[in-house]
Structure 1
Amino acid sequence: MDKPATTIFWLRRDLRLHDNAGLYHALKSNNPVLCLFIFDKDILDKLEDRDDARVTFIYQTIQKLREELHKHHSSLLIKYDKPIHAFKEILNEYNIAEVYTNHDYEPYAKERDIAICEMLQKQGISFKTYKDQIIFERDEVVKDNKEPYTVFTPYKKRWLKTVKDFYLKAYPTEKYFKNLFETKELPDVTLKQMNFTESETQFPEMEYDHIIDDYAKNRDIPSKKGTSHIGLHLRFGTVSIRDAARTAFDREPTWLGELIWREFYMMALDHFPNTANHAYRPAFDRIAWRNDENEFKAWCEGKTGYPLVDAGMRELNATGFMHNRVRMVTASFLVKHLLIDWRWGEHYFGRKLLDYEASTNIGSWQWVAGSGTDVMPYFRIFNPEAQQKKFDPKMEYIKKWVPEFGTDQYPEPIIENRTGKERALKAFRAAVAK
């Protein structure tokens, strides 16, 4: 008996059934829709920690999606493989008519999708992708001459001028769940099969509405729960960007502005993929970095002798999160005071942050280094002592993460503040002057 024609919807950075652009279009196609998730060996094999909390988060989310699909008499097809191999296997198992998914903008993802598209087209199968994880992509918010913005403020103004209710409207996927592929429960893949162990990390909830109104007032105080911690959910698409932006409109421009910053950095990396490994401003690739491995280790472990820096790094290591204000201070200290290449710090954040997005992380590190788009001037160097006095004056945050501060157990500063600043200015000026 011939297998029925089936549409595949490939979940990636959109791990939800609600308000999912690609899923919506797939469900309106001519065939029943089978949802697919691939644990990508090309990504997982490069992870340094076998208890990487992000893998646990994805796995737990996938289990919830399976349960949700079971309620609609469907299931989730799960593969653990390189995507190109997984699809070849799927083509032998099902009569695939079309494959739907959502755009992914990072360099590896774009190369992967081109390869999958070419392979499917040779089989006469269409590969259709849609915008889902951002409101505006690559060329939708550009200058009058169609060139990309490299400064945030005019980009934000054009973004706000361009956005209309249409862009924030949810896709009513629930109306079409009857078009899901009916099947018994499909086999699962366990963390153990992938050589991972379950992380004990506590993941933040998707609730953000309650912090929005006071966000501007509380967001710079690391001892308060004044930020939404929504980054993890935006990264893996467990929350809809349209829902988030719609909630912020007409309420809190600062929080909405952070969502726009995210899109600015995604647009920048899409237009300038070389910035993943090189400075956007070429002169900054000439900096004579010291790259002292012992000092880098001290920074990673939160043992620099600067309590705000150390508190931030310990929070990161323990929870996979670091307060936004403290991220800037710790990054500036590494790049400026210690003269360690921003790429070292970017890689470490990429290893530890639950909410790691390449575009935002790269953009933010280059912002601190003064080497990217819309940057902080290289001669602006955060004073970690002054930052602590301003944003953690009662040392509540520091006492939580650096309990030995003020005792003989706490190390002396790794470098004197003024010495580090003067050394950084000398190195950066020399690079820019060449």
Structure 2
Amino acid sequence: MSARHPKSIDASGTSNLPERLQDIIRRRDTVLGPGYQFSETIPVEFVSSFGAHLIDSDGNDYLDAYNNVPGVGHAHRHVVDAVSRQIAAVNTDTRYPQEPLVAYAERLLATFPAELSKLSLPCTGSEANDLAVRVARFYTGGEGIIATRWAFHGRTREVASFSPMLGAGSPLGPNVRLIAAPDPRLCVPEQSVEEYMRDQVRSAIIDLERHGYKLAALIADSAFTSDGIFTHPVGFMQAMIDEIHAAGGLYIADEVQSGFAQLGGTMWGFSRHAVTPDVVTMGKAMGNGFPISGVVFRPEVCDEFGQKVSYFNTLGGRSISVAAASAVLDVFEQENVRERVVVNGATLLAGLETLTRNSPYVAEIRGSGLYLGVEIVKDRGTLEPDPILCERIIKGLRDRRVLISRTGPAGNVLKVRPPVAFTATDVSRFLETFAIVAKQRL
């Protein structure tokens, strides 16, 4: 998702591609606006898919260990059938009564703590976070936002103002303060991660107030994905939230990337820390690729906003998107998805740890469930990031038709984030391929 990690393609880099693909790229460059980039240095045209697999125009099977947007699986038959039936019947929006919409909201809210009982339906993760912060400002009367140092929360102008991962070309708001991710290596001796994060939040609040900004919210990705993936130790979040509430602010849990059981065991990443947010945002896997996102509120946080401010999203709550999202919940129930993520995630983690145990270039492996980060360094002793080696590993896997990406401020953390459709067979193929690349590179 990083604006700096994907590589742009120039004409000199396409000469070895099939003429059809070269033509597509030339035409694409002619008609698409600025900022579009490919996810791989050498682009691939995919024409079909299933589960965690993408098939190119020559029939080659690529293992998708990166794209968790089609969470329950590319082209999942149950989702496809539900969407097909709905679009053949009616596709209205939330201005009209829809029993399926109400039923879906009830089912989704049942996966949250009872205190979180109101759902709004935007269209994208960016819009969800935009609405969450808008409501937080209305409720608290504050403007101050606290986010982590390399966070990504979206691309609207508002949300980009507290998404430092977008880089220097995308300025942060003067009302934004950044704190470090929960990396235990940053703690001083005898200091816990809980204490470290609490102290950072406290300092950020003090600095905001000193500059005339009352706190509105802390927003945090529950996996701290763009910061390099930090999911442990479990339990440090409560101290941060206590500081936020004491200052009159709200805690917004961004589950756009980490939600829908991606971290294994629990449906939502914040649940691992035994905390209850004031607001939760979600998107991506929510509709298995269909345009729908969600914001879940404590009712006392959003009720007055709803009475005084009209909010409507043309696509977010449409019948077809609700059908897709409801089908996703069906799959979770029918296929025991959470249990599968726990088992396959544990196997994946254990395999990666075994394959990299003796490598001087792997600082550590972090994560939970099917959401893992492998930190690549020049030397374990110095921990100096090695983004070049990281890219070579990604390319080595891609050349063997396994797709992953990278994350972290230096772009040196392998991001292994497959859809929750990943099977035991997929895990075996991934580890076998990684072993070949690791032998050459690590």
TM-score (norm 2): 0.28
Question: Which is higher, the Rg of structure 1 or of structure 2?
Answer: 1
TM-score (norm 1): 0.28
